[in-house]
Chains A and B, each alone.
Chain A
Amino acid sequence: MDYTQQLFEQMFGSEWGMTVFILAKNLFYIFVIVVPLLLAVAYLTFAERKIIAYMQIRVGPNRVTFFGIPWLRGWGQPIADAVKAIMKEIIIPTGANKFLFLLAPILTIAPALAAWAVVPFSPELVLADINAGLLYILAMTSLGVYGVIIAGWASNSKYAFLGSMRSAAQLVSYELAMGFALVCVLMMAESLNLGDIVKGQQGDSLLNWYLIPLFPMFLVYFISGVAETNRAPFDVAEGESEIVAGFHVDYSGMAFTVFFLAEYANMILVATLTSIMFLGGWLPPLNIAPFNLIPGIVWLLMKIAFMLFFFLWFRATFPRYRYDQIMRLGWKIFIPITLIWIVLLGILLQLPESSKELFPLNLWFK
């Protein structure tokens, strides 16, 4: 790294060299995160089609291949889909507000990608190690609602408008349940820094993870995450049989694909946050020889993949909720549960030391 820094200082002079060096270094790191992320999004669509296909006892995409290599049958599918999407016409309806219509997809994908700036992949591998990491992520995921509302309004179509109203109401409702569940994690970890939250779960085994003391909050958080990303069984916003395709009914070509990318990037983000806050992030399940020799990032990726599998599994298993049932689940079940759990957890944390020692197997309330 020192060598590269010197090279930059020689090229741009000692005054500008440092600034350009920091800019180039950060841009390089950002591309190291964004390019694999976009590839993961592409192959998540492939994994979804394959896994749901196997759950329905059929094979899924198995024709498109790379360079005619026979054992890569199907693996070219996401690339072929991307090329097809680029070649499709972007239709902007006459009544639509052109600027907002084209702005909405960009407003959806930008926060979905930008939230990754603070995600720690291992103790050292984090781009921006800020103390308000969790707040930043919450802010970024909240910004996604703007894309939905603007898209629905700009299309000037009744179906898009109704779809965006439903979608936005659902998103903000489940954001509350998510926020309350995160308060419980904060009470245990006592830090907003994502790296510190993982370090708070360090111990001998997976018993130390927040999954166990906060199990109901884990369920609330993950189910809210499924609802936040408009995935089945909470996908009424795009219930094709009721209101055609929701807020993006008038979108086509690349404009639609950007929405699609953002949805899948958000799925990966929710899976990652669940792994970091409840499943111990980069920590191995047992802190003994064969497990803790594997690098932390491998554990984190395995946990993300594990959580992502649930998204696909839900889609293949559950019928769609009705809209009033979705709102009831968010407001009347999740919010009361989280409020009660916050109070209970607070009482547990306030107990005197001597009574905490009486708990059998107490690893969490020290």
Chain B
Amino acid sequence: MLETMLGNYFPILLFILVGLAVGVLSMLAGWLFAPNRPDSEKLSPYECGFEAFEDARMKFDVRYYLVAILFILFDLEIAFLFPWAVVLNEIGMFGFIAMLVFLGILVVGFAYEWMKGALEWD
């Protein structure tokens, strides 16, 4: 199994585990060597010296939601562009024009959201 193409992914799995281990171990080192003397003032949430008025997990601006939606759309577009770019030479003119049509439709959507002001931050 380790000789196959999938076997190439084994070092990656190990590397991810080592990455996690680096994070966990350094936090553990902090926990082991650092002092731990909490008191209620020290553990209060930081709001520039004032008491917190309410829970911090409040409503947030809808524009962040909009950016997230647009990101999902355009990331999908990139996901479609990647295989197209890799085999562009083989699929020739037809494949190129097909992708131009796809890009054209997405550009119409992009222009619409631009005109609607979805990309404005004021």
Q: Which residues of A contact B20 (CB under 8 A)?
A: 106, 110
Let me know if A90 and B9 touch, CB within 8 A: no
Q: Is A55 at the interface (CB under 8 A from chain B)? A: no
Total of A-B residue pairs, C-beta within 8 Å: 223
Let me know if B45 and A328 touch, CB within 8 A: no
Q: A169-B67, A187-B85 are in contact. Are A175 and B100 (CB under 8 A)?
A: no
Q: Which residues of B contact A155 (CB under 8 A)?
A: 45, 56
Binding site for B on A (CB under 8 A): 22-23, 26-27, 29-31, 34, 38, 85-95, 102, 105-114, 116-118, 127-131, 135-136, 153, 155-162, 165, 168-169, 172-173, 175-176, 179-180, 183-184, 186-187, 190-192, 244, 249-250, 253-255, 257-258, 261, 323-324, 327-328, 331-332, 335, 339, 342-343, 346, 349-350
Let me know if B2 and A22 touch, CB within 8 A: yes
Q: Looking at chain B's contact residues, is the secondary structure mostly helix, strand, loop, or mixed?
A: helix
A241 to chain B, nearest CB (A): 12
Which of A30, A86, A158, A161 has the largest number of chain B CB atoms within 10 A? A158
The number of chain B residues touching the other chain, given as a range, is 35 or more
* Partner among A89, A254, A261, A342 whose Cβ is within 8 Å of the Cβ of B81: A342
In the bound complex, CA of A256 to CA of B13 (Å): 26
In the bound complex, CA of A190 to CA of B9 (Å): 22
Q: Which residues of B contact A112 (CB under 8 A)?
A: 19
Let me know if B9 and A130 touch, CB within 8 A: yes
Let me know if B30 and A250 touch, CB within 8 A: no
Given A30-B11, A92-B43, A158-B58, 14 new contacts (CB under 8 A): A27-B18, A86-B33, A93-B46, A106-B23, A162-B60, A172-B71, A173-B71, A176-B75, A179-B78, A186-B85, A187-B85, A187-B88, A255-B30, A323-B121
